[in-house]
Amino acid sequence: MRYSTSTTSTPLLSDDVTQPDIKQLNFIQTNAAMSFEDAVTDAIDDVTSAPDEQPLSAAVVFGCQAEEKVKKKVKMQGGSSPENVTAGGDANQFTSTVVMMSAGNGRPTSGLKPSPSVGTSLESLAKSEADQNDNVSPWIMGEAWERFYKSFVYYKDKPVGTLAALDPSADALNYNQVFVRDFIPSGLACLMKPSKEGLDMVKNFLLKTLHLQGNWEKMIDNFTLGEGVMPASFKVQYKPGLQKDVLEPDFGGTAIGRVAPVDSGFWWIILLKSYTKCTGNHSLAESPAAQRGMKLILNLCLADGFDTFPTLLCADGCCMIDRRMGMYGYPIEIQALFFFALRCARQLLIPEHGNKELIERIDKRITALSYHIQKYYWLDFIQLNNIYRYKTEEYSHTAVNKFNVIPESIPDWVFDFMPLRGGYFIGNLSPSRMDFRWFLVGNCIAILSSLATPAQATAIMDLIEERWSELIGDMPLKISYPALEGHQWKIVTGCDPKNTRWSYHNGGSWPVLLWLLTAACIKTGRPQIAKKAIELAEQRLARDGWPEYYDGKTGHFVGKQARKYQTWSISGYLVAKLMIENPSNLRFISLEEDKKIAQPRLNRSGSWSS
Ligand code: GLC
């Protein structure tokens, strides 16, 4: 019994404890909040008026009393067909689904009460806490907008992006550049509070980065990059020879560690979709240049190679975590962004323009990718127990333990971390390797793109609520959990002094992630969680000078090397506020579940299908 070596608490997995025979999910329907009806109706009207899209989900729906408008939808699922978790069908249904696991002998149980955030409307929360926040919040918002405007970067007198940070007290390094990934919350803030300058900036950003993508030839140590790569960042540089400013991109060629920005192209496509949705103007997305740009990005990712998985193979440091952190292989952040971008591109590509074959490839990949992630990356209590009991060295198509994961490789912390209610997509999966770490970006993007099934999305929110002190702590919110320490830190990070335990990418807390959490909370009908997190951030963020990240197990300390006035800490906060104040803003960054994605659909745990 390996678990007996654990120093902590309940021996969940001892030999004499029978594996819970969990055969049912109770779907408890909660009612929708009248207070958000208008916002939601707006959102739904908007979505349903777009022929290429599904109606907005249950998600932008909040629990409370609105009996007449609510179409009751209570589902009980048996073990044989657990897939039919649906998220409120037509546009006028206001449903929200809460999943309860039964934890004993196949009988539904009342043992687990609904998570605290389930069924409380944001309105009632707002009322009870209005007094204490009303004084602070507008001031912080004002300061945030002011600093945000100061970060604008101009090229030929037009705004083209935002600086990564504006910290006069620290060496600029490349923080004086416009990073593609950092610009996403900036762009969303401009879309959610539209102004002419803001909308122009988003459009210019999309066009300029597109131009840089096409600007060959770029070499890194004499290897040309694949055509279609989007830069990690760019800066406006005065060229004395030319006597003018030029835009100078960085594709990782000068970045620390020479890391490749695999996420940039995906974020670019996602932002193009958001821009199109917000403005209702399809001319940019339908322009030959944008169509070509999308095609190049996708061709790179859909090219045949030696892969046996539908996931995308990457080197370490290929995304927001752009240093060595054991992310090589198939990191969840990239897989979720890949899925999101595929779905956005699927809606933006014009079939008549020679894209038929590409669209077929996209459809196939979307199906295979969602199956793979939903089934093999998913971890909850039941699935953990299954893996714990895995047989190894199985051969042939009938193998249960397909990747030959050795149970002894499950780290002890997972047994303590995994609550009875809740689950998440693990960090990485390849032969005999499951990286059990929690990564926030991948999990939230999975919710926003509807890569996670509604039941999985609910379970992810349950986990965040159950593990509040670990994942939110004093400052929202952990980029990864837990931290790598000691020998593991040495071998996995290469003794990286910036990524020491509970710092930076290694279990540090990043305020920018607030916007992703808020979007996911609204989509799953749990805005209270976001509201609580935002209030925590408001206590310190402005006062501490909008740091890039916080350190410590609970995120109590301003990060050791954190830049101050980090733009995405500011814009991430703004986007979170703009969404919590007006939940219909979610529609710019969320895709409804696509019922056409081929079966089999999966539920929370692979164990259900057996
Ligand atoms: C750091 C972060 C990266 C971010 C960049 C600019 O390198 O790891 O995600 O894009 O700073 O803020």
pLDDT digits (tens, 9 = 90+) for 34-57: 333 343 334 333 333 343 443 333
pLDDT tens, residue by residue, 551-560: 999 999 999 9
The residue whose CA is least distant from atom 12 of ligand 1 is: 164
11 pLDDT above the threshold of 80: no
Is residue 250 lining ligand 1, measured as CB closer than 6 Å? no
Is residue 538 lining ligand 1, measured as CB closer than 6 Å? no
82 pLDDT above the threshold of 80: no
CA–CA separation, 30 and 211 (whole Å): 48
Which of 184, 234, 215, 474 has the alpha carbon at shortest distance from 337? 184
10 pLDDT above the threshold of 70: no
Lowest mean pLDDT among 5-9, 316-320, 370-374, 587-591: 5-9
514 pLDDT above the threshold of 70: yes
566 pLDDT above the threshold of 80: yes
CA of 505 to the centre of ligand 1 (A): 10
Is 609 in a helix, a strand, or coil? helix
Which atom of ligand 1 is closest in space to residue 320's alpha carbon? 9
Output the pLDDT for position 27.
Answer: 28
Give the mean pLDDT of the chain. Answer: 81
The number of residues in the chain equals: 610
Instruction: Give, rounded to a whole angstrom, the gap between the first and last alpha carbons of the chain.
Output: 25
pLDDT band at 246 (very low <50, low <70, confident <90, very high): very high
Is residue 183 lining ligand 1, measured as CB closer than 6 Å? no
pLDDT band at 609 (very low <50, low <70, confident <90, very high): very low
- C-beta atoms surrounding 176 within 10 Å: 16
Is residue 435 lining ligand 1, measured as CB closer than 6 Å? no
Task: Decide: 314 and 334 in contact? Cβ < 8 Å.
Answer: yes
CA of 41 to the centre of ligand 1 (A): 37
CA–CA separation, 127 and 124 (whole Å): 5
Average pLDDT in the 16-45 region?
A: 32
Which of 384, 453, 481, 466 has the alpha carbon at shortest distance from 422? 466
CA of 267 to the centre of ligand 1 (A): 14
The residue whose CA is least distant from atom 9 of ligand 1 is: 320
Question: Per the structure block, which two tokens stand in for 64?
Answer: 């409370």
Output the pLDDT for position 254.
Answer: 84
CA of 232 to the centre of ligand 1 (A): 9
595 pLDDT above the threshold of 60: yes
Is residue 472 lining ligand 1, measured as CB closer than 6 Å? no
Which atom of ligand 1 is closest in space to residue 182's alpha carbon? 10
Tokens 């310190």 belong to 540
Which of 140, 43, 128, 141 has the alpha carbon at shortest distance from 523? 43
The residue whose CA is least distant from atom 2 of ligand 1 is: 320
Lowest mean pLDDT among 126-130, 295-299, 509-513: 126-130
Which is it for the CA torsion 600, 601, 605, 610, positive or negative?
Answer: negative
pLDDT band at 563 (very low <50, low <70, confident <90, very high): very high
Is residue 322 lining ligand 1, measured as CB closer than 6 Å? yes
Which of 374, 376, 365 has the alpha carbon at shortest distance from 82? 374
| Between 504 and 100, residue with greater pLDDT | 504
pLDDT above 90 coverage of the chain, percent: 68
CA of 388 to the centre of ligand 1 (A): 36
Which DSSP string corresponds to 40-71?
A: HHHHHHHHHHSTTSPPP-GGG--BS--GGGPP
CA of 180 to the centre of ligand 1 (A): 10
pLDDT tens, residue by residue, 417-472: 999 999 999 999 999 999 999 999 999 999 999 999 999 999 999 999 999 999 99
Is residue 164 lining ligand 1, measured as CB closer than 6 Å? yes
Question: Per the structure block, which two tokens stand in for 41?
Answer: 């109706």
Is residue 562 lining ligand 1, measured as CB closer than 6 Å? no
Which DSSP string corresponds to 305-355?
A: -S--SSSPPB-TT-SSS-S-SS--BS-HHHHHHHHHHHHHHHHHS-TTTTT
CA of 513 to the centre of ligand 1 (A): 13
99 pLDDT above the threshold of 80: no
Task: Decide: 563 and 166 in contact? Cβ < 8 Å.
Answer: no
Is residue 179 lining ligand 1, measured as CB closer than 6 Å? yes
Phi and psi for 333 in degrees, rounded to 5?
-60, -45
Side chain identity, residue 502 = W
Output the pLDDT for position 125.
Answer: 52
Output the pLDDT for position 253.
Answer: 84
Is residue 320 lining ligand 1, measured as CB closer than 6 Å? yes
19 pLDDT above the threshold of 90: no
pLDDT above 70 coverage of the chain, percent: 76
Output the pLDDT for position 180.
Answer: 98
Lowest mean pLDDT among 146-150, 187-191, 506-510, 599-603: 599-603
Non-local CB neighbours of 81 within 8 Å, separated by 6+ positions? none
Output the pLDDT for position 171.
Answer: 84
Is residue 319 lining ligand 1, measured as CB closer than 6 Å? no
Output the pLDDT for position 124.
Answer: 53
Give CA separation, 306 vs 227, 309, 332, 372, in Å. Answer: 19, 9, 20, 17
Is residue 324 lining ligand 1, measured as CB closer than 6 Å? no
532 pLDDT above the threshold of 90: yes
CA–CA separation, 447 and 456 (whole Å): 8
391 pLDDT above the threshold of 50: yes
